[in-house]
Structure 1
Amino acid sequence: MKAVRLHARGGPEQLRYEDAPTPAPTAGEVRVRVQAAGITPTELTWTETYQDRSGNSRLPSIPAHELCGVVDAVGTDVDDIALGDVLYGLIDFPRDGCAAEFVVAPAADLAPAPQTLDPVQVAAVPLSGLTAWQALFRHGRLQGGQRVLIHGAAGGVGSLAVQLARWKRARIIATASQRHESFLRELGVDQFIDYTAESFETAVGDVDLVLDTVGGETLNRSWAVLKTSGRLISIVEEPGPPPAGHAPGMFFIVEPSRPELGELTRLIDAGELRPLVQSVFPLARARAAFEEGFAGHLRGKIVLRVE
């Protein structure tokens, strides 16, 4: 099969489009013919991209860990997936990803794809959608009527988090640069803060939940706007020590989840949730896709079209 692989640590310059062995499913797994794969540019900096959980090298490794595709082989002990099923999902990070014509994944991590989106749009959902869902609801316990501040609200995770919070009927405060304001207000943001022009600490307070997709000083300054009972959740790094009386903040790494994918599918097909795709590249131009991602200031996801 054709695949994009890393043979050494580094940035997009290390990506090679080349022939690679076609994987075969083992017990509990399925093989998917990939139609489209979403990329996360920062995965080229993650230890999991280069090492397994025992610290052994995974090179050459295949990036891009969210996909939409068609099942073309089924391993033993799989009785709820059939050949030809169109599935989507998040591939766990110590495994090879989806920047390839075929990928093998645990059947339990995949779910039927939304029927109202094309494969490119579907591939933009799993990682960002599951991250947003788990941050807001599994870890953040967001309820209707609560106030949530979302940093980096125009990105892949942030834009889906805005829509999920709107569905939950929370009050949404978003930080982003000025050029994203109209887009975010269309998604349902109640209060927009241009972080280049004003300090969010002076514009908002008494927040129940902060979802941080930025890290650094933005993350650590966020304590100042939280209620004492509020929660600080980051998908970038561990928050610093909390002020007196506050619960510790939390950093987490998204996990595959078929039930949560099912919730996302239901919302997508009901018109409550739509992913934003910034740009689409053919698989052979994956290096250019990651270079665009490394440049930053994304609005939505970058997706590889495989077939």
Structure 2
Amino acid sequence: MGAHVVTTASARNHDYVRGLGADEIIDYNAVDFTQAVSECDAVFETVGGETGTRSFDVLKPGGRAAFIASGMQSPEPTRNDVKSLRPSVGRDRPYMERVAALLQEGVITVPELQVFDLKNAVEAQKISESRHLRGKLMLKIR
């Protein structure tokens, strides 16, 4: 799609995120991402908290930060030359149809998925809160 993708991941996940298409990977246990990258056009923030707020530091003037983690509040920009976005696509049918087509074409792929029965929801929540999740979690209700 033409983007140069820089991401953060623990060392054990570098091959995994490279396989997802990352061009550069920053080990967040060894390097402060705000010291390793700058002048980004866009940030897709999935962690939140202080990491989310610090994401504004790596944007170039006019850059945009999209906060895409479920339930996460978008922080106010720490600079007046960048924008904070909170994408909401759940009710945008044309957009969702385009995403579905890209999935079918193999242009975008679904990351690793861990499925838990509802009776194991506590275990799934603990994994989610650990912030050491690879891919996504899903609860199976039936």
Correspondence for 1:196: 29
Pick the aligned partner of 1:224 from 57, 71, 93.
Answer: 57
Q: 5 Å matches for 1:5-84?
A: none
Correspondence for 2:115: 280
1:239 aligns with 2:72: no
2:138 is aligned with what amino acid?
V
Q: What secondary structure, in the 3-state scheme, does the structure 1 residue paired with 2:5 have?
A: strand
Provide, for residues 68-117 of structure 1, a one-character-per-residue CA deviation record: whole Å limited to 9, x for no partner: xxxxxxxxxxxxxxxxxxxxxxxxxxxxxxxxxxxxxxxxxxxxxxxxxx
Provide, for residues 16-51 of structure 1, a one-character-per-residue CA deviation record: whole Å limited to 9, x for no partner: xxxxxxxxxxxxxxxxxxxxxxxxxxxxxxxxxxxx
- The structure whose residues are more often helix, as a share, is 2
The Cα shift of 1:189 comes to 0.8
Distance 1:265 1:171, change over 3 A: same
Task: Determine which structure has greater relative contact order: mean sequence separation of CA pairs < 8 Å that are 6+ residues apart, divided by chain length.
Answer: 1
Unaligned runs of 5+ in 1: 1-167
1:242–1:249 contact (8 Å) kept in structure 2: no
Distance in 1 of aligned mates of 2:95 and 2:56: 29
Distance in 2 of aligned mates of 1:306 and 1:222: 35
Distance 1:261 1:205, change over 3 A: same
Please provide the CA RMSD for this pair: 2.3
Correspondence for 1:290: 125
Distance 1:199 1:185, change over 3 A: same
Distance 1:269 1:200, change over 3 A: same
1:278–1:298 contact (8 Å) kept in structure 2: no
Q: What secondary structure, in the 3-state scheme, does the structure 1 residue paired with 2:74 have?
A: coil
1:204–1:225 contact (8 Å) kept in structure 2: yes
1:182 aligns with 2:18: no
Distance 1:257 1:291, change over 3 A: same
1:238–1:251 contact (8 Å) kept in structure 2: yes
The Cα shift of 1:182 comes to 0.7
Distance 1:241 1:268, change over 3 A: closer
Q: How many residues align?
A: 139
Provide, for residues 125-147 of structure 1, a one-character-per-residue CA deviation record: whole Å limited to 9, x for no partner: xxxxxxxxxxxxxxxxxxxxxxx
Correspondence for 2:40: 207
TM-score by length of 1: 0.41
Distance in 2 of aligned mates of 1:239 and 1:205: 19
1:172–1:191 contact (8 Å) kept in structure 2: yes
1:207–1:230 contact (8 Å) kept in structure 2: yes
Distance in 2 of aligned mates of 1:306 and 1:248: 38
Distance 1:256 1:300, change over 3 A: farther
Give the share of equivalent positions with the same residue, in percent. Answer: 36
Pick the aligned partner of 2:97 from 262, 278, 283.
Answer: 262
Q: 5 Å matches for 1:71-110?
A: none
Of stretches 296-305 and 180-189 in structure 1, the one that deviates more from structure 2 is 296-305
TM-score by length of 2: 0.80
